[in-house]
Amino acid sequence: MIAPRRWIVLLAALLLSAAAGAIDTEAAFADAARQARYEHLTNELRCLVCQNQTIADSNAGLAGDLRREVKEMIAAGKSDNDIKHFLTARYGDFVLYDPPLTPRTLLLWAAPALLVLITVGAAARVILRRSKAPIDADPEETV
Amino acid sequence: MWRYLGPAAAFLVLGALFAFALVRIQNGTLDVREIKSPLIGKAAPLFTLPLVTDPKQSFDTRTMAGKAYIVNVWGTWCPACREEHDSLLQLARTTGVPFIGIDWKDDGAMAQQYLAQLGNPYQQVVADADGRIAIDWGVYGAPETFLVSSAGIVLAKHAGALTEAVWAEKFAPLLGTGARQ
Amino acid sequence: MIPELGTLALVIALLLASAQAFFGLVGAHRNKLSWMQAVTPAVAGVWVFVSFAFGILTYSFIVHDYSVGYVATNSNNELPLMYRVAAVWGAHEGSLLLWIEILATWALLVAAFSKSLPIAFRARVLGILGMVGVGFGSFTLLTSSPFTRLLPAAAEGADLNPILQDPALAIHPPMLYMGYVGTSVAFAFAVAAMLSGRIDPAWSRWTRPWTVAAWMCLTVGIALGSWWAYYELGWGGWWFWDPVENASFMPWLASTALIHSLAVTEKRGLFKNWTLLLAIFAFSLSLLGTFLVRSGVLVSVHAFASDPSRGMFILGLLLFFIVGSLTLYAIRAPSLKSDGGFELISRESFLLLNNALLVAAACLILVGTLWPLVMDAFNLGKISVGPPYFNMVFLVPTLPLLALVGIGMHAGWRRSALGGKRRTLALIAGGALLVSMVVTLVFYGGFGLPLTVVGFTGALFVMGSALIDPISRWRNKQGISRAALGMAVAHFGVGVFVIGISGVASYKIEKDVSMGPGDSAEIAGYRFNFIGTENVRGPNYDALEARVKITRAGTPVADLTTQKRKFKIQAMPMAHAGIAVAWNRDLFVALGDELGAGKWSMRLQYKPLVRYIWIGAVIVALGGLIATLDRRYRVPRTADALLPADAATDKVS
């Protein structure tokens, strides 16, 4: 195996400017609804090069190219789903910060409801049990 | 006591997961940074792009039908590409598999000079000036190398410098069987 | 020679920490007074030698000793002195040294301020902290020594990562680590209690101030990190749900639950098992965070250079401490059952629900953070779980929590004492809703997002509710205990924080423009006039500075400068945003690329109420501070005098 880390470092040095946020030169669309879609989409897509930024925030060249693709697809009347599909066909689900619901992410998406049901359910059981127990005096007052 | 061991068991399971992941990272079977290409097993994206060596002419991947070939994405701005260049020259000569180069978001004149100076491993080398074809291939860094079978299917992808060792490990076994499909 | 002294000091500190652990734990077990008395000097010795090593590393940075590998990779001749000192904790090895230094400091503080505790208990607490110190000390020495020599020495250093060259670096990591590592104190108190088999209200009383102190530091540390990201990373976001952020947020949630649960254990002697478990969880999550950030299993913007063999070491430590303490818990828990009831609507019920929701929130973040790793490890594909997921699902446990806070504060112990306050609370709730609707409509011209009004109403309700007691006591000329005041202040801060989030999430405006000198653009009624650019030289970077004058309806509002810095060594461009702060909004300008023809790309942002996010967090921490200063934690009382009549049954003998 060659050292992939070395490659990453070089890549990072060249393509990345992690700390300088990406700035478009102008609003992508004059029409507010499309501009909103553009901002929403680019803020939910993960930059592949820097990996922990959205393509809206990343200054990497690839992020700029992907913003351009998104802009052109919106202009061409493509739906958000079409655009996401275009990108996942090339980069996989990794590109979506909003993980799609699949059998493999079912538990992930069920987690909030499940966890709250479990913890609150357990708390409710304790509260119901305790509310039937005799109420003792204040330990502070017994001293 | 046993019913109170739940939390300890939960943390053990978590620990086992971490240990498993670490072992896989250590023995090189898991790279958390690698993004697996969804193109593998699918038809290679087709493209027609102008040649770096002569921008008036263009190259079409359809001319590669029936042949296994390599697509190598590079740029003169990319130090790791410079690093793999000698290996590319060597592999292009010894393996007999044609190399198609995609010069990614680069300056044409600089690319010509680069190839003239260091040698040209590519059978054809094309310029993807605005990076659209690279997106079709799911490229996220340079260099990246793809192996395409004679049936036009993407068999493998390597991100990072291509060396003889990587070739032998990742590409050669596939060439024996898949490439001639 | 000097760096070797650092290594030597660490070795001595490690030996002393072993002595601290041995004499503390074995001395208490065998009831040998002289052994237990040896613990305090050992703690002091550990602190002295770790601090010495820390000083040596700092010195190596100050004098540019590039024969030390760590200095060579993280410093540079042109790096200003302040950043050379802060660079000590700028990367993995040095930040680990900071970890140990802070652990040693907590142990020293515990040794100094717990003289009134029974000696065996105190010895055990310090013994446990000694064990943690041995674990992390050997980790540092064996895998991550910051003193490793680079031979031949480098002629010049590779410079500190430019992102870290900011004044906040000087305070954010030490503060965060104070909180992070501070969870080990509550953990040590919990394990010591389990070893002695005695958990009573007195134990909670001893543990609480330490837990609150660590939690306070964690609160401020996280807030500082968020503020830093907001202005330094240049894109105006304040929380990204990055694994590193999550790693600090999970122990915060667990510590918050612990503080509340300790209240019940202290007042009522109830939920002892649960409190112990939370103390272990808080520390576990903090170790887990350390593991996630340093092992390389997750990809993150600010994860340290990672190495799987280091990961294995921390994983070993993590499992030793966590599984060990949880097994001890399983042995002790059955005998710690406590009885005592409370009514359906009582302070206890509310606190238990608070705990349930906070733990659900912490677990939720854990699931979201680890899910991509699980899929990756089992070759199930690569996915990303990011802000769109967390922002949505995090509301499931936290929105009900917000509603509960407002009411729960006024519930009495054992039985509801809401009685007279019911009407007041209803009035506040109604008022909060009315004010929220008016404010959103009048000042912001619309109800915003579906949850905007809900957020403002919840926040105002909590703030109003927190003020009921302080105001009524003040009007009746009654005193208020610092504990009660601290609680009110902290909860008020939660409201302020929620105001900030709701405001900025609902009404922020962002606009990318291309402007040249003389051009102007307008957002949210503010006109940004581009005056011009000039070249500026920094100590180790060159910068281009743009001046922007902001006016509103013709009147000047602010004069801003924003820079684009190019660091000489790392050749990394850094945006340095210009921010105009006012009570109701931030105006944020960041300079982008030169587009030719005298034009520049610029990002203009209007961030309404964003400051209240951090102000709220600071108020929350302040509440913690006030509560820690409560009289009952100051007056030394012996443990046995405080034992409730029924607590004798809790003793395991």
pLDDT digits (tens, 9 = 90+) for C415-446: 776 777 889 999 999 999 999 999 999 989 88
Higher pLDDT, B17 or C236: B17
How far apart CA C350 and CA C373 sit, in angstroms, is: 35
Rounded percentage of chain C residues whose pLDDT exceeds 90: 72
Average pLDDT over residues A54-69: 88
Q: Which residue of B has its CA nearest to A8?
A: B160
Given an 8 Å threshold on Cβ–Cβ distance, is C575 in contact with A19?
yes
- Smallest CA-to-CA distance from C492 within C584, C406, C421 is with C406
Given an 8 Å threshold on Cβ–Cβ distance, is B4 in contact with C319?
no
CB contact set of C512 (below 8 Å; sequence gap of 6+): A23, A24, A25, A26, A27, C592, C601, C602, C603, C604
Tens digit of pLDDT for each residue in C539-549? 889 999 999 99
Q: Listing from the earlier edge strand, what are the strands of the sheet with C599-608? A: C509-515, C599-608, C585-596, C578-582
Lowest mean pLDDT among A13-17, C27-31, C61-65, C535-539: A13-17
Q: Which partners does chain B have (≥3 C-beta pairs < 8 Å)?
A: A, C
- pLDDT for the residue numbered A138: 53
pLDDT at A16 over 60: no
Nearest Cα of chain A lies from the Cα of B142 at a distance, in angstroms, of 7
Domain spans in chain B, listed from the N-terminal domain onward: 1-32, 34-180
Nearest to B140 among A1, A4, A48 (CB): A48
- Smallest CA-to-CA distance from B7 within C396, C319, C253, C248 is with C319
Confidence of residue A143 (pLDDT cuts 50, 70, 90): very low
How many contacts does B have with C, using Cβ atoms within 8 A? Answer: 79
Nearest to C323 among B12, B21, B33 (CB): B12
Given an 8 Å threshold on Cβ–Cβ distance, is C573 in contact with A19?
yes
Q: Which residue of A has its CA nearest to C596?
A: A25
pLDDT at C536 over 50: yes
Nearest to A48 among B35, B79, B161 (CB): B35
Rounded percentage of chain B residues whose pLDDT exceeds 90: 78
Given an 8 Å threshold on Cβ–Cβ distance, is C595 in contact with A25?
yes
CB contact A97 to B (< 8 Å): no
Nearest to B135 among A4, A8, A65 (CB): A65
Confidence of residue C376 (pLDDT cuts 50, 70, 90): very high
Tens digit of pLDDT for each residue in C356-373? 999 999 999 999 999 999
* Chain B residues with beta carbon closer than 8 angstroms to that of A91: 35, 38, 138, 140
As a whole number of Å, the end-to-end CA separation of chain C is: 54
Tens digit of pLDDT for each residue in C5-43? 999 999 999 999 999 999 999 999 999 999 999 999 999
Nearest Cα of chain A lies from the Cα of C572 at a distance, in angstroms, of 6
- Smallest CA-to-CA distance from B37 within B179, B165, B180, B140 is with B140
Given an 8 Å threshold on Cβ–Cβ distance, is C330 in contact with B4?
yes
CATH architecture entry for B34-180: 3-Layer(aba) Sandwich (3.40)
Is residue C51 within 8 Å of residue C10, measured between CB atoms?
Answer: no
Given an 8 Å threshold on Cβ–Cβ distance, is A61 in contact with B165?
no
* Chain A residues with beta carbon closer than 8 angstroms to that of C308: none
Nearest to A142 among C357, C400, C645 (CB): C645
pLDDT at C591 over 50: yes
Average pLDDT over residues C118-145: 96
Given an 8 Å threshold on Cβ–Cβ distance, is C333 in contact with B1?
yes
pLDDT at C285 over 80: yes
Given an 8 Å threshold on Cβ–Cβ distance, is B77 in contact with A92?
no
pLDDT at C305 over 80: no
Lowest mean pLDDT among A80-89, C164-173, C627-636: C627-636
pLDDT at A140 over 60: no
Given an 8 Å threshold on Cβ–Cβ distance, is C295 in contact with B11?
no
Confidence of residue C303 (pLDDT cuts 50, 70, 90): low
Average pLDDT over residues C589-601: 86
Confidence of residue C596 (pLDDT cuts 50, 70, 90): confident
Given an 8 Å threshold on Cβ–Cβ distance, is B78 in contact with A10?
yes
Q: Are strands B99-104 and B69-74 parallel, antiparallel or unpaired?
A: parallel
How far apart CA C531 and CA C560 sit, in angstroms, is: 10
Q: Which residue of A has its CA nearest to C601?
A: A25
Q: Which partners does chain A have (≥3 C-beta pairs < 8 Å)?
A: B, C
Given an 8 Å threshold on Cβ–Cβ distance, is A23 in contact with C163?
no
Is residue C117 within 8 Å of residue C39, measured between CB atoms?
Answer: no
How far apart CA C286 and CA A111 sit, in angstroms, is: 22
Nearest to A61 among B105, B138, B166 (CB): B105
Nearest Cα of chain B lies from the Cα of A105 at a distance, in angstroms, of 17
Q: Note the ipTM here.
A: 0.89
Tens digit of pLDDT for each residue in C225-273? 999 888 877 677 899 998 989 999 999 999 999 999 999 998 888 889 9
Given an 8 Å threshold on Cβ–Cβ distance, is B140 in contact with A4?
no
pLDDT at C179 over 80: yes
Q: What are phi and psi of C605, to 5 degrees?
A: -135, 145
CB contact set of C652 (below 8 Å; sequence gap of 6+): C197, C198, C332, C335, C336
pLDDT at C652 over 50: no
pLDDT at C651 over 70: no
Nearest to A10 among B79, B139, B159 (CB): B79
CB contact A40 to B (< 8 Å): no
Given an 8 Å threshold on Cβ–Cβ distance, is B135 in contact with A90?
yes
* Chain A residues with beta carbon closer than 8 angstroms to that of B135: 62, 65-66, 69, 90
Is residue C511 within 8 Å of residue C523, measured between CB atoms?
Answer: yes
CA torsion, ordered C308, C244, A10, C75, to nearest 10 deg: -100
> What's B170's DSSP letter?
I
Given an 8 Å threshold on Cβ–Cβ distance, is A21 in contact with C575?
yes
- pLDDT for the residue numbered A11: 35
Confidence of residue C301 (pLDDT cuts 50, 70, 90): low
Nearest Cα of chain B lies from the Cα of C236 at a distance, in angstroms, of 26
Higher pLDDT, C596 or B112: B112
How far apart CA C189 and CA C121 sit, in angstroms, is: 8
Given an 8 Å threshold on Cβ–Cβ distance, is B12 in contact with C319?
yes
Rounded percentage of chain C residues whose pLDDT exceeds 70: 96
Tens digit of pLDDT for each residue in C610-636? 999 999 999 999 999 999 998 877 755
- pLDDT for the residue numbered A5: 35
* Chain C residues with beta carbon closer than 8 angstroms to that of A131: 341-344, 349
Could you tell me the domains of chain A? Answer: 4-142 (1.10.8.640)
Given an 8 Å threshold on Cβ–Cβ distance, is A14 in contact with B79?
yes
Tens digit of pLDDT for each residue in B36-75? 899 999 999 999 999 998 899 999 999 998 999 999 999 9
pLDDT at B20 over 80: yes
pLDDT at C187 over 90: yes
Nearest Cα of chain A lies from the Cα of B166 at a distance, in angstroms, of 7
Nearest to B21 among C309, C318, C377 (CB): C377
Nearest to C297 among B2, B11, B21 (CB): B21
Average pLDDT over residues C94-111: 97
Nearest Cα of chain C lies from the Cα of A97 at a distance, in angstroms, of 5
List, as ranges, residues 100-119 from A with C-beta within 8 Å of B. none
How far apart CA B147 and CA C496 sit, in angstroms, is: 57
CB contact A90 to B (< 8 Å): yes
Given an 8 Å threshold on Cβ–Cβ distance, is A92 in contact with B142?
no
CB contact set of C42 (below 8 Å; sequence gap of 6+): C16, C17, C19, C20, C23, C130
* Chain B residues with beta carbon closer than 8 angstroms to that of A7: 80, 141, 159-161
Q: Which partners does chain C have (≥3 C-beta pairs < 8 Å)?
A: A, B
What is the enclosing helix (H) or strand (E) of C533? strand C526-537
Nearest to C315 among B5, B18, B24 (CB): B18
